[in-house]
Amino acid sequence: MAEDLIFYANPMSRARIARWMLEEVGAPYRTEWLTFDGSMKSPDYLAINPMGKVPCIRHGKTIVTEAAAICAYLADAFPEAGLAPPTDKRGDYYRWLFFAAGPLEMAVSIKAFGLEVPKERHRSIGCGSYESVMDTLAYAVTQHPYITGDSFTAADVYVGAHISWGLQFGTLEPRPEFKAYWDRLKERPASKRATAIDDEEMHRQLAAAKAG
């Protein structure tokens, strides 16, 4: 039943990653749209996610936050979707999923905010240098058609979403390796459905805010 899987989201957030994953899974779900300074900070939602952020899913009695964790959870909860490799072949799957959640996002955020880690402190920070992260990401997306090999997985949802965002907003170097990888993903029907749903809600919220 749709009520068994609830998705807490805002269309102008990382919830777009989880939406894409939900559409890839194909299981019925219900969306609860939240606003940043309103319902996302309400007592009811803070009881679900004390961070007061999205994305978040509630699957029965299970609550999962953080986009990478949601991708991994949904792949395991709905194995029929085939979005996770067999457990004995998950090295690259876990490696690149959490590389994107950790070093990649950290390095991109540091650069986007105009900050700079002194070269002598690179060993002290999890992401090292921005340049080494870009080189590592380029390596990851050129070893196989997809992150884990010849099959699309939840790791491609997460890594692909970051690359799409980075190319669109200029937070990633526009390397041909990144574009080629994203070109292999962007026409997926689930990605298009997810984008259409979130774009429609984004326009609705923006229009409502403009109307006052």
Question: For position 208, what pLDDT does the model report?
Answer: 87
pLDDT at 3: 52
The DSSP bridge pattern shows strands 5-9 and 30-33 to be parallel
State the pLDDT at residue 45.
98
pLDDT of residue 212: 74
Q: Which parts of the chain register pLDDT below 70?
A: 1-3
DSSP labels for the chain? -GGGEEEEE-TTSTHHHHHHHHHHH----EEEE--TTTGGGSHHHHTT-TT--S-EEEETTEEEESHHHHHHHHHHH-GGG--S--GGG-HHHHHHHHHIIIIIHHHHHHHHTT----GGGGGGSTT--HHHHHHHHHHHTTSSSBTTBSS--HHHHHHHHHHHHHHHHT-S---HHHHHHHHHHTT-HHHHHHHHHHHHHHHHHHHHHHH-
pLDDT at 209: 85
